[in-house]
Amino acid sequence: MKKITFITFLAICISALFAFNASAKTQLTYANFFPPQHGQSKLAESWCKEVEKRTNGEVTFKYYPSSTLLNPGTMYDGVINGIADVGFTVLAYSRGRFTVAAGIDLPLGYTSGVQATKIANAVFNKFQPKEFSDTKVMYLHAHGPGVLHTSDQKVANLGDLKGLKIRGTGTSGLIVGALGGSAVGKSMRESYTMLQKGVVDGSLHPLEADKGWKLGEVVHYAVQSAATSYTTTFAVFMNKSRWNKLTPEQQKIITKINAEWSVKHGKVWDSDDVAGTEFFKSKGGKIITLSADEEAKWKAAVAPVIDGYIQKAGKKGVDGKAVVDFIKANM
């Protein structure tokens, strides 16, 4: 009788232990707008798997690419409100919200995604922007040089841009206006259809998007201009309540992974630029190089975009000049 009682007690203890372990597991949702085959989407999914691996399955994820849970424009608020636990989006899609981070996107002559990503995180660590206080930022990353693409109109000088409708969001939209075009503020996922149907005459985007978003099929010219090359800042962030419920050890593990994955994103942006260039050319695309004189004109044309940022940031209590100077010093 005693033996049966002990076995029953032991069974109850084991069941309770398994129940405790099950309840200790945390499943989170991760929302992203990139299509699953895109290099950045694959990296985001691999981040989820790495967290699962290093926490020994204590933290798991349901991954939602292609805006299946949240679209780019609602991503940040969606994470704040708990619709998704982790989100990955373009900060420029929330225009006017991220004042310090907007300085990263300026046309300051970026040369690579590795460089832009390093600068983005350096700005975040240096200025600790209050604009991100509603979430727990995992890390930032940024693409390589933004390039002007057009469908049918070859652009070799500023005059060629006048009257053209060019897709651009946030800072890239301001660049379009400064160069004489008309900016159409739509997300990347809408670009292909707009270009295909002639709703817009072109788009400002990095060369990686020519393959990653198949835009190389609907654009025929690309203007490489070092004087006007900008970047776009992306952020991966977590709902603060969900972050705070993780154990200190889990937070430590994720923080370490964040530092590693930020670097990976920068490298993938660059390798995808190479692949995008090859895809663009394979579709008959032509890359236009500006003359030195024309390059100088483009640089002068976008200078007011930088000055305008500094002035607008000042009105919001942000030292925009300090942000710009810091970026220039770290390029």
Buried b (16+ CB within 10 A) or exposed e, 133-153: eebbbbbbbbbbbbbbbbbee
Residues listed for the chain: 331
pLDDT given for residue 227 in this prediction: 83
pLDDT given for residue 226 in this prediction: 87
Q: Which residues contact 291 (CB under 8 A, 6 or more apart)?
A: none
Q: Which residues contact 83 (CB under 8 A, 6 or more apart)?
A: 31, 69, 70
Report residue 7: phi and psi, to 5°: -65, -40
Report yes or no: 273 and 113 within 8 Å, Cβ to Cβ.
Answer: yes
State the Cα–Cα distance between residues 310 and 22, nearest whole angstrom. Answer: 52
| Domains 25-144+231-274 and 146-230+289-329 alike in fold | yes
Report yes or no: 116 and 185 within 8 Å, Cβ to Cβ.
Answer: no
- The fold for domain 25-144+231-274 equals D-Maltodextrin-Binding Protein; domain 2 (3.40.190)
Class of the domain covering 146-230+289-329: alpha beta
Domains of the chain, by residue range, sit at 25-144+231-274, 146-230+289-329
pLDDT given for residue 1 in this prediction: 46
Instruction: Tell me the mean pLDDT per 10 residues along the chain, length 331.
Output: 48 42 78 96 98 98 97 96 97 92 97 98 98 98 97 95 94 95 94 97 97 97 92 98 98 98 98 98 97 95 98 98 98 92
pLDDT given for residue 18 in this prediction: 40
State the Cα–Cα distance between residues 163 and 230, nearest whole angstrom. Answer: 22
